[in-house]
Amino acid sequence: MRIRMMLAGAAAAGLMAFPAMAEDGQYAPQLTRIIAEAAEGTCLAAYMAQPLLDACNAQIAGMAPALSAMGAIETMTFVSARDTPEGKVETYSVKFAGGQTMNWFIGQERDGKFTVVGAGG
């Protein structure tokens, strides 16, 4: 099953143009909550900048059933961080109870809200 997730503010390909930063991830708790809420059909306004929230709300009806079907998050492992002109973007490997593992990214945080969150890459 392939899920298309929201991406606002930067193209995923553009994220690869910047070197990896040597550090551990900081955004795992926020990403975990965003994924869990999306699986329940809610876009988490507390962590999403308005353009990302708008994109999420436009897609949530299709995303929620697919995320819910994968089950709860079993593990989330930090993969890398990339520095972009708009801010750091972290990538995590997320394993779901249904057995599927996907890479997810989150970043470009301003005032506690993110402008990019998505799956792929």
- Alpha carbon 58 to its chain centroid, in Å, reads 16
| Distance, CA of 52 to chain centre | 11
51 CB-side CA count, 13 A? 11
Does the pLDDT of residue 3 top 90, yes or no? no
Query: Token pair for residue 106?
Result: 């989150």
- Report the distance separating Cα 62 and Cα 24, nearest Å: 32
Q: What is the mean pLDDT of residues 109-114?
A: 95
Report pLDDT digits (tens) over 45-99: 999 999 999 999 999 999 999 999 999 999 999 999 999 999 999 999 999 999 9
Q: Which amino acid is at 12?
A: A
Instruction: Quote the pLDDT of residue 2.
Output: 39
pLDDT of res. 58: 98
Question: Computed over its alpha carbons, how large is the radius of gyration of the chain?
Answer: 13
- To the question of pTM greater than 0.85 for the whole model, the response is no
Domain spans of the chain, in order of start = 25-111
Tens digit of pLDDT for each residue in 10-57? Answer: 333 333 333 344 458 999 999 999 999 999 999 999 999 999 999 999
Predicted pLDDT at 48: 98
Any idea which fold 25-111 has?
A: Nuclear Transport Factor 2; Chain: A, (3.10.450)
